[in-house]
Amino acid sequence: MNHVSQRGRRSGATGLPTLLVLCFLWLPWSLLAVDPAFTVDTLNVTFDTPTALTLDAGASEIGAATNDYALLITVDGGDTGKGWSLHIKAANSLFLPGVMAKGCEDVRWKQDGDGANAYRLLTTTESLVEARPGGGPAIIRLDLRMLVDWSDPPAAYSLDMTISMTVDD
Amino acid sequence: MTVLGPVKILAWLLLATAGLRAAETVSVTMTVSPVVVVQLSTASIAFPEITASDFDAGFVEIEAAVSVTLSSNTGWALSVKTAAADLGTVNGYAKPLIDLEWRRSGGTYVPIGSVDVIAESSTQGITNHTVVFDIRMRLHWSRDLPGTYGLYLDLTLAELAP
């Protein structure tokens, strides 16, 4: 009696995994495919402390030279062939400390390799960095410029910048 | 039902991720330190040879003797003083400090002293601001012996604490 009962339990235990395996096989493979995703090489971009020369020039730049950059974004295109687009925006309209009233538009960005006049304002509205309707991987290097001059009082300024990816349906 | 349940949930999750958004937050930072820069129009000021009419007038004056151009990204104060005890000694006669006077152009003359006197200040930063100084030397027939007199003027630009 005891022996039969043990056999019965074993039978039930192997039945459930079998069902799960069958379900797994029944699922469309697209459900398991990997969508595009991205990573950034750093979560903190720090500009040099400005000198008198910097304040006279009115800006500080990271990535002035080609192949030099402030932020490296690596897009893994996944295996779904889905298109994607990458956007950038400021999380806040003002740098911290807010009492200094330094606006997020003082940060300018461009893709490395573009000309100096390609710099665009960082605003709280998303701006398109790159779009790949056909999907696929990409390496995107961003240069950053911070406007800073004699009117900027001494302070430790910080601003969060959001890089976001939208994957097409 | 127990089999289809997880499948339906998975399919629903997949639909929910259509138009998926992923985001990373990157902090942008810059530390701005106090920066003050000062530039003088000249490193030395020489009065012309003193004449009898200068003695009669009681002084000799140089307008716009020195200009100070300054930039600061914080509050600042420009002050004037000297470390000298007098204007120099000739044959035992020490010409007193009070004989040298200064003013911002258009202001009122004050004698030079050994303590900083603020010529101009601001709580705000400023760029390429010029302050022009006039100087005047008091002359006295009765005591100023022939000779060469002089001193160093200290023009100091200091940041003001916010």
Q: What is the pLDDT of residues B31-41, one digit of tens each?
A: 999 999 999 99
**Sheet containing strand B100-104, strands side by side:** B36-40, B59-72, B126-138, B100-104, B110-111
pLDDT at site B130: 98
Half-sphere exposure of A101 (CA within 13 A, CB side): 1
Confidence band for B162, pLDDT divided at 50, 70 and 90:
low
Mean pLDDT of chain B: 90
Reduced to 3 states, what is the DSSP secondary structure of residue B79?
strand
The answer to whether the Cβ–Cβ distance between B71 and A154 falls below 8 Å is: no
Cβ pairs A/B, distance under 8 A: 138
Q: What are phi and psi of A2, to 5 degrees?
A: -65, -40
Q: Is the whole model's pTM more than 0.95, yes or no?
A: no
For residues A103 and A64, the model is more confident at A103
Interface of A with B in 29-88 (CB under 8 A): 31, 35, 37-40, 42-52, 55-56, 60, 71
Residues 6+ apart with CB under 8 A from B56: none
Residues of chain B positioned with their CB less than 8 A from the CB of A88: none
Q: What are phi and psi of A6, to 5 degrees?
A: -65, -40
| Average pLDDT of span A41-54 | 97
Nearest-CA distance A1 → chain B (Å): 30
pLDDT at site A30: 54
Distances in Å between the Cα of A85 and the Cα atoms of A36, B36, B73, B160 are 10, 45, 40, 49
CA angle B122, B127, B131 (to 5 degrees): 65
Nearest-CA distance A5 → chain B (Å): 24
Q: Which residue of B has its CA nearest to A47?
A: B30
Which pLDDT tens digit goes with each residue over A116-148? 999 999 999 999 999 999 999 999 999 999 999
Nearest-CA distance A3 → chain B (Å): 29
| Average pLDDT of span B128-143 | 97
H/E element, A9:
helix A2-26
Nearest-CA distance A2 → chain B (Å): 29
Residue A153, pLDDT > 90, answer yes
Least confident range of A71-80, B93-102, B126-135: A71-80
Which pLDDT tens digit goes with each residue over B93-122? 999 999 999 999 999 999 999 999 999 999
The answer to whether the Cβ–Cβ distance between A161 and B74 falls below 8 Å is: no
> Chain B within 8 Å of A93 (Cβ-Cβ)?
no
Residues of chain A positioned with their CB less than 8 A from the CB of B160: none
Residue A19, pLDDT > 50, answer yes
Residue B12, pLDDT > 80, answer no
